Amino acid sequence: MRRGLRLLMTVATAAVIAASFRASMQPHSTVGSAAVVSPAPPATPSSRRPPATGRRTPASPTPAAGSARPSSVVVAGGVVDTQYGPVQVEITVRGGRITRTHTLQHPSGDGRSDEINSFAVPQLDREAMAAQSARIDTVSGATFTSEGYRQSLQSALDAAHQAGAR
């Protein structure tokens, strides 16, 4: 099981490095690389193992007693530099769904940015949870924060997918 986790972490690391390299080759890239903050913990062994046929069996909608709970992955998206400051989003993915969004960085430090983002950031978090994707609306008056949020969220989703979050 450790070998599988090590392989998963190696694949996720390679994906982050490849994304970083591609971004560094872009002359006007604004997105920093995403990072898996907390990989999915290894599944606990079950008393029943499916036959090793090389095919996956579909998961039952109701977990059997004693089965492992779905694992979660916490991923920080890339830092996106906007005209008013950096934006960075962190997500938690469990069972193929975004279960939590948290904005790690957003433009702040002056009264106007603080005022705008005190309203915009929670709204963007709610939109991301409802949409379960980066296809979210721009918050009126917070265009740059909204665009940075979307880009960072998408990089987090991509990294979560690469890390095997399903």
The pLDDT score that the predictor gives to residue 6 is 52
SS3 10: helix
95: phi > 0 → left, psi -120 to 50 → alpha, else beta; which?
Answer: left
Tell me how far CA of residue 65 lies from CA of 47, 48, 62, 69, 137, in angstroms: 11, 11, 9, 10, 41
d(CA 36, CA 120) in angstroms, rounded, equals 25
Return the pLDDT at 163.
85
How many residues does this entry show for the chain?
166
Instruction: Please name the residues in contact with 159: beta carbons below 8 A apart, sequence gap of 6 or more.
Output: 12, 15, 16, 19, 34, 35, 36, 75, 77
Predicted pLDDT of residue 19: 46
Residue labelled with tokens 């972490």: 9
User: Which pLDDT score is estimated for 165?
Assistant: 75
Residue ranges, the chain, pLDDT below 50: 5, 16-31, 40-67
> What pLDDT was estimated at residue 1?
57
